[in-house]
Amino acid sequence: MGAGPRAKGGTAHCKAPNWGKMMKQLQGRVAVVTGGGSGIGSGICQALAAEDVQVVVSDLAPASAEAVAAAIRADGGRSIAIAADVSQRRDVEALASRTIDELGRVDIVCNNAGVLVGGPMLETTEDDWQWLMSVNLLGVVHGSQVFGRILADRGSGHIVNTASIGGFLSYPNLATYCTSKFAVIGFSEALQLELDPKGVGVSILCPGKVHTNLDNADAIRPERFARAGGTSKELGDLSEGMPPIEVGRHVVRGIQENSPYVFTHPEFRELFKTRFDRVLQSFDSTPGG
């Protein structure tokens, strides 16, 4: 691009923006949550429902989505399930149309569906990369574009894109996953700058370890990406992780405060400092730096 920190259409993410509208009042809003049938997505659905938000639970797995929606209804909340594969733009377009048809509006969109393939980078296959990026990155792009247009046209709303601590810190044997999450952060930071002037907030969710089914992602790997070099088992045991409902409550706070980043594990702060100090040290050793 060759434009340094300034590019056509705005300034890069190098100053603290004066973030616009906050959505303090959540009661009566309509939210769509992808990957809502399990783990963090189901925690977000439950936490939003507790704020009297109507929740569209969306997932690749229709039965899981319906189970989460039914549990919300059983608790007195309002929720419907709509199946969608976020890697397919037409599915996300159909999800948006059905949401508007059935609930009349949409205010909050959580692009949360994700999968994991781990293992030594040199052994990863083209199918590993294609599957992971089609869900973790393109799924977020599809949701942000399709729903972002609706929210921007109206001039209000909030998008939450699920990244990870692994979107700021790289780990060995998680190159595919970390690459997808670094990409979600870069994409979402650009989106913040583009949508904030249009009245739409964008938060980037960056959890540490959460007790979910992400380590079983191998089980939902589509046939078209069957040539596996890596495995979701590389992630290790998630049972000690944070309960998903706690992550959901952090997301509620992030939406209400229009937080650019939603962190759930404050213990990572020091590692972030080390990471950014290391980057800055390379500036120090640059002649004239």
Question: Residues with catalytic annotation?
Answer: 177
Question: Is 35 among the residues that bind ligand NAD (CB under 6 A)?
Answer: yes
Report the Cα–Cα distance between both ends of the chain, in Å, rounded: 22
Rounded CA-CA distance 84/107 in Å is: 19
Instruction: Output 38 or 46, the one with its CB closest to ligand NAD.
Output: 38
58 or 192: whose CB is closer to ligand NAD? Answer: 58
Position among 119, 207, 254, 260 found at the interface with ligand NAD (CB under 6 A): 207
The answer to whether 244 and 162 are in contact (CB under 8 A) is no
Distance separating alpha carbons of residues 192 and 125, to the nearest angstrom: 33
What does the per-residue mask of binding to ligand NAD show for 36-65, with x meaning CB under 6 A? -xxxxx-----------------xxx--x-
Strand partners, 91: none
How many residues sit close enough to ligand NAD to count as binding (CB under 6 A)? 32
H/E stretch holding 6 reads strand 6-7
| List 209, 221, 249, 250, residue binding ligand NAD (CB under 6 A) | 209
Residue 66 interacts with ligand NAD (CB under 6 A): yes or no: no
Cβ neighbours around 25 below 10 Å, total: 10
| Beta-carbon contacts of residue 184 (< 8 Å; ≥ 6 apart) | 136, 137, 140, 161, 162, 163, 167, 204
220 lies in the binding site for ligand NAD (CB under 6 A): yes
Q: Which residues pair with 59 in a beta bridge?
A: 83
Q: Which of 113, 137, 138, 174 binds ligand NAD (CB under 6 A)?
A: 113
- The residues near 11 (Cβ < 8 Å, ≥ 6 apart) are 5, 193
The residue within the footprint of ligand NAD, chosen from 31, 33, 34, 96 (CB under 6 A), is 34
Contacts with ligand NAD in 145-184 (CB under 6 A)? 162, 164
User: H/E element holding 203?
Assistant: strand 200-206
- Residues binding ligand NAD (CB under 6 A): 34-35, 37-41, 59-61, 64, 85-87, 112-115, 135, 139, 162, 164, 207, 209-210, 212-214, 217, 220, 238, 241
